[in-house]
Chain A
Amino acid sequence: MEVAVFSALGEPSRLQIVELLGRGPLGVGEIADGVGIRQPQASKHLRVLAECGIVGVESRSRRRIYHLEPEPLDRIARWVDSFDQLWQDRLDSLGNYLQTHQNQEDEP
């Protein structure tokens, strides 16, 4: 799941779109202008971003308005948290190891 999100964000125009949408929801024309690409390209990038859930879209009158969805970004945040937890456990484990090892060395 994260892999799709990462590869989607790994494309410079798409990352720029995410940055742009961070300031507020926009239509495809504004997005294309903001990023400096043609509208069909913008649509293509938006499709990729929508497929992995980074952007959502709603229709307002006759316009389609794109916005960021927080879920995939939250998921990456939780993944970073798991890295933190891994190290907490690992350093506990080092403590147990040192204790056991120390006792062994203390033995005659």
Chain B
Amino acid sequence: MIPQLLSKKKELHFERSYAAPVDAVWRAWTEAERLREWWGPDKTTVAECEVDPTVGGRIYVVTMGSEAMGKYAGTRWPMEGTFTHVEEPRHLTYDARSWTEGSEAAEIRHTNELTLVEDGGNTALTLHIDIAEIGSGVKAKLAVYGMKWGYKSQLDSLAQQLTN
């Protein structure tokens, strides 16, 4: 039993290829009425959706559990962010936080970079998410004490100690 958290990479990287022109993928990301069609995973609906794809503009999407989610029915998972770079139709970045309503202390702060490249009618999508902070204020304190998420020799000794 090793606390993987502390040896875990804090970056998520996704690559996909879609059989659609780059403009269609861009619009699916940047027009609220389109984004809400695909954003929510299974058994959720998008309760609120705002996208203003300009630098300093807001992205705000609230996903909500449907009846099919049982005990999570009605639970709201907002994501709120600000666009920091917008280059239609190929590149956008935004800083955001995601949380569960009612459990704000356990929010995730993340930066997101979306890159789209069209190639012969297909569009390659790259999404890079850097988890900057987990839980309010924990990261700042982690930095103060030299504890960063991931890459820590000190944590190897922790892992070792825990297996002893």
A77: chain B residues at CB < 8 Å are: 3-5, 8
With the chains together, A24 CA to B34 CA distance in Å? 53
**Quick one: CB contact mask for B113-137 with A, threshold 8 Å, 1 for yes?**
0000000000001010101001111
With the chains together, A99 CA to B18 CA distance in Å? 8
Task: Check B138–A97 contact: CB distance below 8 A.
Answer: no
* Cβ-defined partner of B24 (8 Å) among A2, A88, A101: A101
**Quick one: CB contact mask for A8-36 with B, threshold 8 Å, 1 for yes?**
01101001100100111100000000000
A24: chain B residues at CB < 8 Å are: 157, 161
Cβ-closest chain A residue relative to B104 = A3
A106 CB, min distance to chain B CBs, angstroms: 11
**Quick one: CB contact mask for A84-108 with B, threshold 8 Å, 1 for yes?**
1011111101111111011001000
> Given A3-B103, A68-B158, A97-B28, do A74 and B141 touch, yes or no (CB 8 Å)?
no
With the chains together, A68 CA to B2 CA distance in Å? 11
Q: Does A7 contact B (CB under 8 A)?
A: yes
Task: Check B147–A15 contact: CB distance below 8 A.
Answer: yes
With the chains together, A90 CA to B108 CA distance in Å? 17
Is chain B's interface secondary structure helix, strand, loop, or mixed overall? mixed
Q: Does B68 contact A (CB under 8 A)?
A: no
B141: chain A residues at CB < 8 Å are: 9-10, 12, 15
Task: Check A80–B134 contact: CB distance below 8 A.
Answer: yes
* Interface residue tally on A, bucketed by range: 35 or more
Interface residues of A, Cβ cutoff 8 Å to B: 2-3, 5-7, 9-10, 12, 15-16, 19, 22-25, 67-68, 70-71, 73-74, 76-77, 79-80, 83-84, 86-91, 93-99, 101-102, 105
Interface pairs (22), CB distance under 8 Å: A3-B105, A5-B135, A10-B135, A12-B145, A15-B147, A19-B154, A22-B155, A22-B161, A23-B158, A70-B2, A77-B8, A80-B8, A80-B108, A80-B134, A84-B12, A89-B41, A90-B39, A91-B16, A93-B38, A98-B19, A101-B24, A101-B34
